[in-house]
Structure 1
């Protein structure tokens, strides 16, 4: 079949620090697509020369040695690309390279570039796990392949597209139908801020041109091999072999029998006739065996992948039943099995449409099982983006009826509910860099922990360094107070300790070790207090102590994407007034909510639901009001409010 495509592209260059180049070429039956971003590339001339060289490598490999399988030639071209880049380029490269051949898409990526498919209003990334950072000097290491359907929209982006817009917005934009108009709409909706230059290109597989009657007649003319008819039902590789065999058959026989009109009478003519007939029969036999073998292998593969999808469907239905019955653990296990089988089918290139539909159903069931509440556009409570294009807010504090937020070097506030965009700037003194802060109710002030192991208090719009009686603040990463009492607590994960400091009129008393049970806090990322103390570890484990003693504590009902491999931006939050424990998983842009079991003396935290923020931007800290009605979050430049 001959496919038509509608190709379009755009680029945005607010920083103008990248060399961006898109490319689309019709190489006969194959189309080539490139989305390239180069950083630290030297001069424009050098970047253009490198791009030209990369295009030549790809086109030469794809148009020459056509007797070799296209996939093999694509692989070989990527090896040559890697070799050329290792010799000629030392900067950063983000790229997608794809070829479309007879409805089959083969693609690869490197760096932060990504490829996506929009099929029937569902949006999927199709380049996940193709790039391996540990692949050494080889930028292009893996290839994904799959069959496209008419109507599919393929998008390539030099950076992760969901950094600039949400999945909901993308689905809405491309529901317009016209691909070029949708891409222009996407360009207008992208919010770049300071996130850098981006290049987007892609195509819409519009229609396939069926063989008309006159084309069929042409195929049946003696000058065309009749075996071309097989091409419509065989794979690209097998069909090309049969087509070449048919051509050899036709031309070979024609040359052997370039005789004058009449019946062959001489022994030489009869010998040629018998020889030509034997060759024709042999070639037909070879083609028949090849085609039969291909069909047999293909049918076996199809049956294998149908069985995998059937097993996935059974696991999905079982997960639905278990979810309704409240057995989340077993339901999650069956969804994992279903997803594993379906991903195997998708990777094979067979039954791609069915596999994508199954992945969509699995994703929806995961969200239902996890009680995910998607937030596409949270309400902006305060916008600080006009202050500094490079602003990076890291924390959010509440004092009485006002918010304060800060970057490592500047405090902003008070930010009031009725005038959220009226606030003051308070640079931290002496060039100090602040790593954490809290509201200290006992002293009615904000307290900050600095990177140089000092403590700052902010009261009446003034900063003051407050020391301990022995002039020895311990190092740490988080600082907390509890219930308006006169103590501060400092998490020292490097020392596997929590230190308690008592505030007197002038100073703090010496540090007291609070981890007297010798629990392992070395990989702790955050802690919270409600009378007991909850320490969240990098693995997702939560350790609870009460009055310095270890208390058995468990986490029940983990979500489909469990808490693990947590980053230093992860936060756990609760207090003596809250019936729930909240965890900010910033890497996955979500806030998870657990119920205390029981409220008075918790022995477990039970998963309830999560808020998932679709627009890809950093969420660095959060706050919950004591009535648990509102969730406030801070990104690099804004504070958001979400009703709960």
Structure 2
């Protein structure tokens, strides 16, 4: 029989008993191709259940089930150049890795309790894989086949071999498939399912199962009374029909039965009350007061008590309404906090498996909920606010931690103050810093002084260099450091000369055009923004000799550039946050860190030949960004306590960052995250 343009039409059933204790999680996941490339690979359908789990761990394993489905879908469509079976093999291999890693983290309860089936449908072919004991039946003509037999004798191993085999075959028009957890047999035997599918169609079987499950839901289990047969706690079922689109449309559309919704017609209710009240006003009230009431009414005190009671009821009504209102708001806020915690925990699991595509929307939803909680919390009275404040604070802190983890943010907390120049007897306003021979040197643009601070004994010493000139930049070399002055001078200090400096004149038209400079391998590199070029100069005894380092200059991409560093390659930062990397005088690539917020202006760069990372000071956002020079992995070190970051320096082993904030120098220990 020739099959053309066959499609799978499906119906899903996910059921949990409403009253009995939940001991399992289940799900049905149907993913259909979204574009032409994915259509060539086909659709995937997943049915899974994890049974016999403790109620306190249901959320973790519900997340595992959803994580498996998400991972299989992602890996299946990851490379559209693969064939369908290759894509399925890759997806199942990825699922095995997730399960193995989940087990290593101490979550072993799923082993022996996971029933999971994976089907892929492409170009009239179907591919099946399963683990555990899900039921897969195929009705073709009048034959009802149990496809699980194809997996009998499947090799068993550890979690990394959960999914091993893939069966495949050609489907035909009119085929019907049932994929379900084993609990389906508690609802209908294979013979009953076969008879319904032969006489009717998938819609009829779907309604039959739904009716049976509704009857199951009515069964209530009492603790002290033994039940002859306990109802199933959950069920996952997928019914598939193979048809051409034209034939499927010719079928009689299923009857849509709308559930009856009980509501309150306020207008009718009000009218009824008014009509009854009018009748009462027009009619003599009956029955008449009892003799006992007549007796009490003779005493005025009785009437006074009734009046007081009515008055108290009227006075207390607004208070009661307000209290009920507060109770409702309190419960709403409490529920929202719990939802934030749940979403944060789920994102934590996703990040553990490097699944950022799943973690990010979860955190976005949690963050949105916290914005919803705050207005509610502020309207609560003081005592209720106090009840929620600790939980709300803890939920926000955990959410922030997860957001930082997602964005590779490390908040610098344990930092050490090295020196505070505001406590010195003299005035010194540092503009920048560099480290040379175990000492920090600071320079300012308003004088010809520099400040030396030994790292072992951080006591600042003011050193006089020039009475005429001020300094734009300080550069540390191997055995010397250099101070770039205005307009055409460079002061050079050589090791062991007791801070005696000498002047050299670079062959530059004007050092006012120099935006930044860096030292590497005996040469100084200058960033000249006005001429849109990078200059390389060798250091002589009395003069710097050199020329353009770029093969082609001017380079328009250096427009609005602001910082430069060298490790053999030259890195240049632009004001828009882009980093230009040059090699051998040519542009190698652009680097645009995928971080939020983006990098602001007035950045500074730092790296060395043997360092793994390129470091970026972003003073606008109070952070230092580390980008791995090989794989681009980005870490953000955030210094929230500082508001005027001017410069920084990173130790050779990349374990310490020194940074200048206003007139203070701090040291922070860091761990390389990549």
What's the TM-score once normalised by structure 2's chain length? 0.45
Considering only CA atoms, is the larger Rg found in Structure 1 or Structure 2? 2
Query: Does 1 or 2 have the higher relative contact order (CA < 8 Å, sep 6+)?
Result: 1
What's the TM-score once normalised by structure 1's chain length? 0.47
